[in-house]
Amino acid sequence: MKKEVAFIITALLCINIVSAVGIKWFTEGEVLNENSDLCIRYGTYNPSGNDIKVNIAVEGELQSIIEGVKSSDSLVEASTSSINAKMIDFCFKVPIVYPEDCLWNGLICEQKCEVETKTYSGEVVMTEAPAQTTGGTAGSGATIAASAPLKLTVNCKAHKRDWSIVYVTLILLVLVILGVLIYRKYRKPKLQRYKEELKALQDKLKKEQKKK
């Protein structure tokens, strides 16, 4: 009886190993600047007898800094070996991670980079889901298949304050004031405008006569 149980457990383990999706990685650490994009290439293979869809995600500290992930599900055909693994580009964006010195509500900021360089650790996880087949889905739901270690060293990017928003705001304010003044001037009836211009000329003539 014990031998039969051991045989069944061994068989189940073998099935799990055969059905597992493999991941090939070519780097365990990358260096990039904050507020920049990065693409890392991974290979995936499928020794099982069914076609599957593969998706890439991250776990660990990397989840807190990675955004804008660009990596759609990829179909990996059955009986794909490590030698002819399918390559997938895992692209993402790392935002600003170092606190900036801002004058107002996240605007007009500068960065002197007087801080230690930050490194984030985690794993790139390859998940699998059975591919759709005619008349239904082959196999069970999505399962974690394989993972690879990854460390991202994010360099601080120094920059001075950007005053362009202030300049644009001032220009817009001046244009608004000019528009209001022109509107107030030309919305008056012509007769009233002529009277005001005539009065201004008369006042100017009186001043000139007093000078003489």
pLDDT confidence of residue 119: 96
Which one-letter DSSP state was computed for residue 61? G
Are 192 and 150 within one domain?
no
Extended beta strands in the chain, E state: 22-25, 29-33, 36-45, 52-60, 67-70, 74-76, 86-94, 101-104, 107-110, 118-130, 132-133, 136-137, 143-155
Helices (H) and strands (E) in the chain, counts: 3, 13
What pLDDT sits at residue 129? Answer: 63
pLDDT tens digit sequence for 46-59? 888 888 888 888 99
Q: What is the pLDDT along the chain (212 residues), one digit of tens a residue?
A: 444 434 333 433 444 444 468 899 999 999 999 999 999 999 998 888 888 888 888 999 999 999 888 776 788 888 888 898 989 999 999 999 998 888 887 778 888 888 899 999 999 998 876 555 444 444 444 565 789 999 999 999 888 887 887 788 889 998 888 888 877 777 667 667 677 777 778 777 777 777 66
**Gap between the Cα atoms of 80 and 48, Å rounded:** 8
Residue 57 and residue 30 in one domain: yes
Residue 48 main-chain phi, psi, to 5 deg: -75, 175
**In this predicted structure, what is the pLDDT of residue 143?**
61
Residue that is last in its domain, among 112, 127, 155: 155
Q: Are 66 and 40 in contact (CB under 8 A)?
A: no
Please report the pLDDT score of residue 164 as a whole number: 80
Structural domains counted in the chain: 2
Alpha-carbon distance 205 to 196, whole Å?
Answer: 14
* 171 and 126 in a common domain: no
Q: What is the DSSP letter of 86?
A: E
The two structure tokens encoding residue 19: 């059905």
The predicted model scores a pTM of: 0.63
> For residue 97, which of 30, 154, 37 has the smallest C-alpha distance?
154
Same domain membership, residue 189 and residue 133: no
C-alpha to C-alpha distance for 138 and 148, rounded to whole angstroms: 26
- Same domain, yes or no, for 101 and 198? no
- Per-residue model confidence as pLDDT tens digits over 19-28: 468 899 999 9
Is 178 found in the same domain as 141? no
**Co-location of 27 and 76 in the same domain:** yes
Residues 121 and 22 in one domain: yes
Q: What is the CATH number of the domain that holds 85?
A: 2.60.40.10
Same domain, 124 and 185: no
Helix (H) or strand (E) holding 13: helix 2-19
Q: What is the structure's pLDDT at 168?
A: 85
Domain end: 115, 137, 155, which one? Answer: 155
Range of the domain at 77: 2-155
Phi, psi of 174 (to 5 degrees): -60, -45
151 & 170 share domain: no
Tell me what pLDDT residue 124 has.
Answer: 93
Q: Are residues 37 and 113 in the same domain?
A: yes
* Residue where a domain terminates, one of 120, 138, 155: 155
Q: Which CA distances in Å does 84 have to 14, 45, 47, 48, 117?
A: 22, 8, 11, 14, 38
| 59 shares its domain with 148 | yes
